[in-house]
Amino acid sequence: MPGEGMCDEGYVRIDWLFAELRSQGGPERLLVLDCRAHCDFLEAHIRGSVPLAIPSIMLRRLAAGKVDLLSTIRCIELRNRVEAFLYGDDDHRGTFVLIGDTTDPAGHQGETIQVLSRRLRNCGGTVATLI
């Protein structure tokens, strides 16, 4: 879980993520959501991460609280995993790691990451953003 190796305000470095993914049980405790463009994800991504693209209209509705977070996720398997991370018992809960465009300066991630981070935290999730 984030803590050691976690920067201020929920940011984590790549070395922390690497160590967590290599630790025993680490991949089951992390849900790495890649919010970059789909073509960037196809070109290169972290093993085990899942692409999460939210159309701009849905993102605006999500930010305004007019739509439920889980309803924006089309993949049933991913939706079930997000639900378990948010509302499951302590054995199934984990940390969401959000990945954005590396060209953005640290602390200025895209709107998708900001909205997702806020909504996941509001639902009781633990969220970290890769810098």
Domains located in the chain, CATH noted: 8-130 (3.40.250.10)
Query: Which amino acid would we find at residue 94?
Result: G
How would DSSP label each residue in 15-82? HHHHHHHHSTTHHHHEEEEE-S-HHHHHHS--TT-EE----HHHHHHHHHT-S-TGGG---HHHHHHH
Rounded CA gap, 109 and 43, in Å?
A: 20
Q: What digits encode the pLDDT tens for the residues 66-94?
A: 999 999 999 999 999 999 999 988 877 89
Residue 109: predicted pLDDT: 45
Residue 36: predicted pLDDT: 87
What does the pLDDT average to over 106-119?
Answer: 76
- Indicate left, alpha or beta for 25 from its phi (over 0: left) and psi (-120 to 50: alpha): left
Residue 8 confidence class, pLDDT cut points 50, 70, 90: low
Rounded CA gap, 112 and 57, in Å?
A: 11
CA atoms within 13 A on the CB side of 116: 28
Higher-confidence position of 122 and 1: 122
CA geometry: angle 13, 89, 58, nearest 5 deg:
60
Residue 131: predicted pLDDT: 82
